Amino acid sequence: MATQFIKRMLGIHHQSNVQPLKNLSYFGSPRHGYMVPDHFLGSHSICYCVGAGEDISFDTELKITFDARVYIFDPSPYGINHFNEVKDYVNHGTPLTLDKTLAPYVYKISSKQFSEIEFIPVGLWDEKKTLKFYDPERENYSSHSAILFTESKNFIEAPVDRLSNLMKALHHEHIDLLKIEIEGAEYKVIDTIIEDKLNVKAILVEFDEIYNTKDKSFHFRIKRSCDKLRKAGYVLAHSTVAMKRLFIRKDIYDQLKKSEINA
């Protein structure tokens, strides 16, 4: 209890600065899903899901539920191979189950729906370049990182780019929902969103240092990044103990909050 009190005093508790919305729904597998506001997404919504790994359950459910325009970004072998594996299973009409022992999840997407999802083998960074991604060298951990695991002897090199450049290449002037699950690079990418004043309505972000702590200051790195988003006009609407967080731009948040009150 004392630890939780101190965290609240320092503003690093997982519920610090949260202004909750009531009408949120969970999408994705038990381990890799996120909360999304009700009555927010539709068939014209543009969703960027950055970081696939070996679980694209959330990404596919955006397509299934909302018929949204979904773009998945991941330059790693894990992400590319898993996307192709799901595609093969879906095209053969065979159910694919994730995490069979701990928290089973079955992909339910149709081949037509899956064919409308675009996979782009590029990562997010603050510039266009080829970057080293280090292998975690852990059993059952399927994510390389440009920031974490730098002590690893094994790495891959893969293309990365600034989000604003990718949006221009895809002819998008806005993003309705951006999911960032990129193993420590989220701080740098959040900075670019703010610097470039990108038109992003909602941001889902997993702060990975919770799982892969580099030093004891990670709580304050997370806090600084979240404070930057709030200062840039985003409202923290949901947070888990594991620091998976939902930020919504204030004008959109106010609309959602008003609809809750009027419901």
The per-residue pLDDT string of the chain (263 residues; one tens digit each, 9 = 90 and over) reads: 667 766 776 676 888 899 999 999 999 999 899 999 999 999 999 999 999 988 999 999 999 999 999 999 999 888 999 999 999 999 999 989 998 888 899 999 999 999 999 999 999 999 999 987 777 665 555 565 555 555 666 777 889 999 999 999 999 999 999 999 987 789 999 999 999 999 999 999 999 877 767 777 888 899 999 999 999 999 999 999 999 999 999 999 999 999 888 86
H or E element, residue 222: helix 218-231
Q: Residue 93 in contact with residue 106, Cβ under 8 Å?
A: no
Neighbours of 226 (CB within 10 A): 23
Cα angle at 248 between 199 and 236, to 5 degrees?
A: 135
Residue with tokens 């068939």: 43
Task: Tell me which H or E stretch contains 13.
Answer: none
Quote the CA–CA distance of 131 and 155 in Å, as a whole number.
10
Global pTM value: 0.92
Question: Are the C-beta atoms of 171 and 156 separated by less than 8 Å?
Answer: no
| Cα(15)–Cα(17) distance, integer angstroms | 6
Q: Which residues of 53-68 are buried (b: 16+ CB within 10 A; e: fewer)?
A: bbbbbbbbbbbbebeb
Query: Rounded to whole angstroms, how far apart are CA atoms 33 and 244?
Result: 9
What is the per-residue pLDDT for 36?
A: 98
Amino acid at 100: K
| CB contact set of 223 (below 8 Å; sequence gap of 6+) | 10, 11, 12, 16
Torsional sign, CA 184, 188, 192, 193: positive
CA 237 to chain centre: 15
Distance CA 25, CA 203 (A): 15
